[in-house]
Amino acid sequence: MEEIIITNKFFSFNKIEELPTNIQNLFNQASAVQKNAYAPYSKFRVGAAIELDNGKIILGTNQENAAYPSGLCAERVALYQATSNFPNAKILSIVITASPEETGISVPITPCGSCRQSIAEYETKQDSPIAIYFMGEKEKIYKSESLKNLLPLLFNKKLL
């Protein structure tokens, strides 16, 4: 038997002001758009902002449905919109904000498994990393330079 050790590297920020101006802008937009989330069941509002290499910023919110699990997470709403409207643009960064209506959350909220797999698809497609920033209601922010930190043994088209 051989033991395999996988190490992941994340960056932690205490304030939005510690981030580059373009990422601060993405956080501001993601926080603003999360108010538009349709979350009548979970009461958990999520906003996402994506920066493309063509300068465009794409926003998304989570969209729930009584016929669970037919809804979509904010990250996938933004990803699918970005790649539908700008199929040749590369995704540089994704910013995720979250806020439950009934309880506070002080830890950064990471993408769910389905969103991780979707981000992995586009990171593989464009053959370059996508920086992922995430936070909860407080200003503690984590950054991953690539989806591979969140899903190190990812399943992608190279395995098909």
- The per-residue pLDDT for range 19-56, each reduced to its tens digit, is 999 999 999 999 999 999 999 999 999 999 999 999 99
pTM of the model: 0.92
* Residue 115, phi-psi category: left (phi > 0), alpha (psi -120 to 50), beta (remainder): alpha
> Catalytic site residues?
75
Which residue did the predictor score with more confidence, 96 or 105?
A: 96
- Going by pLDDT thresholds of 50, 70 and 90, the confidence category of residue 107 is confident
The structural domain count of the chain equals 1
Please check the confidence at residue 18 and state whether its pLDDT lies above 80. yes
Q: What is the pLDDT of residue 34?
A: 94
In a domain, 25, yes or no: yes
In a domain, 85, yes or no: no
Q: CA Rg, the chain, in Å? A: 16
CB-CB contact of 42 with 65 (8 Å): no
Range of the domain at 20: 10-73+94-151+154-158
Order of strands, sheet of 44-52, starting from the edge strand that comes earlier in the sequence: 10-13, 141-144, 131-135, 91-100, 44-52, 57-61
CATH code where residue 60 lies: 3.40.140.10
